């Protein structure tokens, strides 16, 4: 009777049974009857009453020691899952995880399918793997399809369709949605939650109204405040930032309950109310004398569970968040008398459960993301800093002063600009700053040169589903993924001027809007950029915005090239050699004095990247007892074979004529006295032949 929605007949039979058994006899009939009455309350939207009956607090003599009665209907699983989802304390007599595990191992296909579905839903609530969730729901649908239970088939098919939509398989999701609607007998709205779907299937004969999941005899009208809040939350189901999620929650409450302002409070370590999110309420207003009576009123909501309250100060919805304690959602309207009079007490209870569930979901997601970030950091430390020990000399004796600056900068949130030639290890230095910081989020490395200009906004800001052709699902941008972490933009000087303008605001305020979206998103990322260009010269030539340069270069760090820290060359060689010998399963080699001298004398225009490639090639091709390092790459000369290109620099202060004479002699030696040709003096100096002859004659430089 409960399954088909005949509530009156079901209640009549349950009352007859309840009065028939002896309260002193804890038999199976008594337990089943109490469970049936709890199910009746659940299907009528009274979760608190159902929970009290199941815990034995209102079971009229049915103690927790009564005999066990096996589950015979999936509705009982849906009820236990609804209680868990709403945040009620666990019921010792009905441990949901153990019940699901037992039913999965049983022979009843109907109950096994329902248990697999509940397991998938609990996995989703914990932020688990969508692929695992999809597998469980497919197994659930396979079990139920052969039983003829169209209600359970509709539930499993609809939830599987939701998972496939989130993963981008729209075609399969549409087919499953049609299957769910055929089994249910009515059109299934995508915004309907699982619990609403359960109640709609049970009460379909009553006009498909969405029942409220709260206490009291209250059925939610089609356009009620509860339903509007449901739709608003479903529209933003993929919120990733905790701060943004809590602010969105307050904004939805302020809008749908038609209040002027709102705030969300929780108690800090000193048991004082602390504001975690606010709409139309500034910090100054919260600390003002006008708010003191209101805060004192809110401070009185300390008991758990606490009932919603209305007063002269406004409206307070207590949110029981479990381990996080009691949170308070406050709303008021200073220019309207009795703004919340239209809200009934049962509806307020329902809203409290709804908002509490959203806060718990946001906290669970934050916990999952923090755990993932911690694992990512540990993986990076083990893989890069331990296994690939070859990067250790990058931070050797040649960078002593720079590393001291890095230690001071890492603990701040100041933007860092890393300057240096190609191959000096700018990204490795950025990772080191991230690891030395106290940020819990991930390290996101971005290379703008590899991003097409027409896809830049989508890649950096993200996009909403349907924002443009091909946007079949929501996509998170680099700024959003780097929340609470570090965003590293390599070769920032290669960003086109048209794109630079779009970065100004987000880098300054850390707020942005996805492509096709309407809601502003906040991301607490730390910015690190790198370039091998002279950005100040780029500004003068009009290729880089001056205001953008000031925003990214709060702390500039200059990584010197390898030729300016030759003391690090041999330690780098030794570490690279050990690394590649382990990789290619070769015995370590020794360097002789000649090879060491060659390595030290070479200028390494490709810096550490070139050195690493040379050592890898030498290890691969080596067949001798000692490492046979090539003297130089093809078509390159060592500093011993050619004059140093910096050799004309002098320690004294010569006159301009004397400096010109020395420079001409320097070029004369490089060109070996040759005037014409590819490497001749005219080409190197970019001078006409007649002008060159005049200058050589002036300074007494004779051609050979």
Position 209 scores a pLDDT of 37
Closest CA to 218 of 82, 337, 353: 353
H or E stretch at 614: helix 607-621
Q: Please provide residue 15's backbone torsions phi and psi, each rounded to the nearest 5 degrees.
A: -65, -40
**Size (the chain), residues:** 704
Residue pair 350/330 in contact (Cβ under 8 Å)? The answer is no
Residue pair 104/116 in contact (Cβ under 8 Å)? The answer is yes
The Cα–Cα gap between 278 and 56 comes to 40
**Close Cβ partners of 371 (under 8 Å, ≥ 6 residues apart):** none
Hunting for tokens 């209101």 — which residue is that? Answer: 294
Residue pair 461/512 in contact (Cβ under 8 Å)? The answer is yes
Hunting for tokens 């569930």 — which residue is that? Answer: 357
pTM: 0.42
CA 584 to chain centre: 37
Closest CA to 477 of 512, 509, 527, 453: 512
The β-bridge relationship of strands 273-279 and 261-267 is: antiparallel
pLDDT tens figures, 615-656 = 888 888 765 555 555 554 444 444 444 444 444 555 566 778
Hunting for tokens 């990214």 — which residue is that? Answer: 552
Q: 423: which 2 tokens?
A: 């191959």
Q: Please give, one letter per residue, the 3-state secondary structure of 380-398.
A: HHHHHHHHCHHHHHHHCHH
The Cα–Cα gap between 395 and 429 comes to 8
For the chain, give the longest Cα–Cα distance. Answer: 127
**The dihedral sign for the CA sequence 645, 648, 652, 656:** negative
Position 9 scores a pLDDT of 62
Bridge-partner residues for 267, per DSSP?
273
Residue pair 104/118 in contact (Cβ under 8 Å)? The answer is no
Long-range CB contacts (within 8 A, 24+) of 613-621: 615/573, 615/576, 615/577, 615/580, 616/576, 616/580, 619/577, 619/580, 619/581, 619/584, 619/586, 619/589, 620/580, 620/584
Residue pair 415/458 in contact (Cβ under 8 Å)? The answer is no
Position 439 scores a pLDDT of 81
The β-bridge relationship of strands 475-476 and 486-489 is: unpaired
The Cα–Cα gap between 443 and 482 comes to 7
Query: What stretches in the chain show pLDDT beneath 50?
Result: 23-24, 57-62, 205-222, 237, 380, 383-393, 632-647
**The dihedral sign for the CA sequence 599, 603, 608, 611:** negative
The 8-class DSSP code of residue 515 comes to: B
The Cα–Cα gap between 359 and 321 comes to 7
The Cα–Cα gap between 149 and 156 comes to 11
Coil, strand, or helix at residue 487?
Answer: strand
Bridge-partner residues for 475, per DSSP?
463
Position 216 scores a pLDDT of 35
Q: Please give, one letter per residue, the 3-state secondary structure of 89-119.
A: CCCCCCCHHHHHHHHHCCCCHHHHHHHHHHH
The Cα–Cα gap between 513 and 137 comes to 34
CA 460 to chain centre: 14
Q: 584: which 2 tokens?
A: 């290619």
CA 152 to chain centre: 34
């Amino acid at each position: 009777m409960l399954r088909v929605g005949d509530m009156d007949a079901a209640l009549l039979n349950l009352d007859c049974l309840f009065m028939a058994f002896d309260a002193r006899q804890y038999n199976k009939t008594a337990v089943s009857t109490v469970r049936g009455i709890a199910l009746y309350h659940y299907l009528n939207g009274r979760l608190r009453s159902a929970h009290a009956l199941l815990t034995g607090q209102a079971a009229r003599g049915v103690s927790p020691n009564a005999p066990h009665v096996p589950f015979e209907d999936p509705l009982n699983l849906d009820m236990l899952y609804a209680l868990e989802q709403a945040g009620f304390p666990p019921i010792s007599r009905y441990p949901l995880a153990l019940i699901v595990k037992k039913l999965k191992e049983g022979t009843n296909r109907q109950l096994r399918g329902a248990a697999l579905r509940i397991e998938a839903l609990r996995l989703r609530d914990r932020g688990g793997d969508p692929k695992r969730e999809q597998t469980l729901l497919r197994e659930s649908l396979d079990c139920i399809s052969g039983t003829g239970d169209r209600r359970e088939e509709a539930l499993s098919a609809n939830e599987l369709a939701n998972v496939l939509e989130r993963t981008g398989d729209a075609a399969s999701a549409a087919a499953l949605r049609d299957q769910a609607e055929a089994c249910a007998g009515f059109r299934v709205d995508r915004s309907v939650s699982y619990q609403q779907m359960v109640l709609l299937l049970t009460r379909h004969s009553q006009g498909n109204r969405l029942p409220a999941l709260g206490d009291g005899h209250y059925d939610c009208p089609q356009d009620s405040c509860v339903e509007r809040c449901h739709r608003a939350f479903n529209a933003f189901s993929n919120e990733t930032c905790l701060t943004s999620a809590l602010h969105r929650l307050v904004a939805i409450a302020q809008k749908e309950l038609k209040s002027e302002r709102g705030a969300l409070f929780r108690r800090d370590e000193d048991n004082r109310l602390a504001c975690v999110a606010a709409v139309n309420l500034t910090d100054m207003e919260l600390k003002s004398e006008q708010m003191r009576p209101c805060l004192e009123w809110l401070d009185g909501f300390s008991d758990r569970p606490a009932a919603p309250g209305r007063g002269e100060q406004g409206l307070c919805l207590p949110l029981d968040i479990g381990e996080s304690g009691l949170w308070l959602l406050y709303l008021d309207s200073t220019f309207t008398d009795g703004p919340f009079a239209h809200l009934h007490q049962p509806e307020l209870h329902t809203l409290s459960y709804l908002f509490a569930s959203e806060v718990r979901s946001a906290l669970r997601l934050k916990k999952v993301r923090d755990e993932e970030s911690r694992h990512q950091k540990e993986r990076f430390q083990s893989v890069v800093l331990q296994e690939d020990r070859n990067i250790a000399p990058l931070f050797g004796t040649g960078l002593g002063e720079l590393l001291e600056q890095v230690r001071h900068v890492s603990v701040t949130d100041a933007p860092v600009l890393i300057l240096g030639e190609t191959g000096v290890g700018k990204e490795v230095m950025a990772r080191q700053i991230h690891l030395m910081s106290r940020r819990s989020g991930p390290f996101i490395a971005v290379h703008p040169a590899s991003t097409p200009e027409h896809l830049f906004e989508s890649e950096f800001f993200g996009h909403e589903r349907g924002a443009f052709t091909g946007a079949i699902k929501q996509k998170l941008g680099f700024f959003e993924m780097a929340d609470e972490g570090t965003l590293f933009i390599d070769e920032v000087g290669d960003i086109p001027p048209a794109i630079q303008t779009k970065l100004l605001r987000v880098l300054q305020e850390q707020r942005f809007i996805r492509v096709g979206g309407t809601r502003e998103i906040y991301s607490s990322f730390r910015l690190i950029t790198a370039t091998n260009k002279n950005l100040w010269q780029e500004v003068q030539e009009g290729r880089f915005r001056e205001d953008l340069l000031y925003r990214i270069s709060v702390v500039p760090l200059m990584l010197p090239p390898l030729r300016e820290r030759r003391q690090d060359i041999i330690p780098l060689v030794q570490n690279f050699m050990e690394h590649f010998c382990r990789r290619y399963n070769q015995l370590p080699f020794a360097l002789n004095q000649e090879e060491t001298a060659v390595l030290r004398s070479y200028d390494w225009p490709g810096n550490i990247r070139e050195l690493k490639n040379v050592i890898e090639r030498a290890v691969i091709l080596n067949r001798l007892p000692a490492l046979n390092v090539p003297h130089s790459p093809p078509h390159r000369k060592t500093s011993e074979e050619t004059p140093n290109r910096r050799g004309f620099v002098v320690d004294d202060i010569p006159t301009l004529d004397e400096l010109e004479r020395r420079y001409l002699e320097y070029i004369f030696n490089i060109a070996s006295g040759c005037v014409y040709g590819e490497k001749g003096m005219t080409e190197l100096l970019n001078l006409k032949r007649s002008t060159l002859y005049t200058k050589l004659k002036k300074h007494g430089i004779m051609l050979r």
